[in-house]
Amino acid sequence: MTNGNTEPGESRGGKSTLASSVYQQLRDDLLRGALESETKLRVEWVVSRYGAGASPVREALNRLAAEGLLGRHDQRGFFLMPASATELEELTRTRCWLEERALRESIAHRTAEWEEQLVLALHRLARAERRLPEDPTTNNPEWEKLHRAFHRALIAACRSHWLIGFCDQLSDQASRYRLISQSAPGVARDDLGEHRIIAERTLDGDADGAVEALLDHYRLTAAICIERFAQGYDPRAGASKARRR
């Protein structure tokens, strides 16, 4: 779990292995919600989709399962974790606990370097378009990256790579929910304004205010998602009847 750890991506220099490449692509597709139509991930299916042998694919799937992004049952393969409103609530709860602690520690141990990285992240986020002009139903993947980078920059000074890793993991889960329920049109929302307030209070050293803004930000997002869930949204269109185990 990640994976309480930095998933390296092996970006710098070292040639990536096939397993890592499949892992990366699969992970991206999962977080983008591109696989929500599948309920089970058969290895043969993954093999033919990403063009790699069974062994590296299995390794990638094992990593993702250990990270909590997939489920696994011995002799029964890998499956997408079912998305439910109660699970989203639990997720959000946990996320608020951990991010609050991380943000407070970050503020308490702030450095000039960290502050600069934060204003940079905010600036980049402000420049990006949330939705692409050509297809307003889907998010701009570039914006997604910058959004995640901003939230990570917030807590980067908390002095615990474990905590950062956990927050990343929860952030991954949350982004899946966000993208699942984003097919619906959605309320107008001042994303940028919220992020700006969080950053301002953080840079001011106003821990209580920053935490309040951050948690409101998360809770509002979750509330919107849950509402859409309640509206009877079901990712799987022609799903079959109940399956045992």
Residues that bind a copy of itself (CB under 8 A): 1-5, 8, 10, 14-17, 19-20, 55, 58-59, 62-68, 73-76, 90-91, 93-94, 97-98, 101, 105, 159-163, 165-166, 169-170
Count the Cβ atoms, other than its own, within 10 Å of residue 170: 20
The residues in 20-39 that bind DNA, with binding defined as CB under 7 A, are 21
**In the complex, minimum distance from the CB of residue 22 to DNA, in angstroms, rounded to a whole number:** 8
The residues in 68-107 that bind DNA, with binding defined as CB under 7 A, are 73-78
Contacts of 142 by beta carbon, 8 Å cutoff, 6+ apart = 128
**In the complex, minimum distance from the CB of residue 11 to a copy of itself, in angstroms, rounded to a whole number:** 10
Contacts of 244 by beta carbon, 8 Å cutoff, 6+ apart = none
CA distance 178 to 83: 11
CA distance 3 to 154: 20
**In the complex, minimum distance from the CB of residue 167 to a copy of itself, in angstroms, rounded to a whole number:** 10
Report helix, strand or coil for 27: helix
Count the Cβ atoms, other than its own, within 10 Å of residue 158: 23
Q: Which is nearer to DNA, 82 or 205 (CB)?
A: 82
Instruction: Find which of a copy of itself, DNA, none residue 52 binds, CB within 5 to 8 Å per kind.
Output: DNA
List of residues contacting DNA (CB under 7 A)? 14-15, 17-19, 21, 40-44, 52-56, 58-59, 73-78, 245
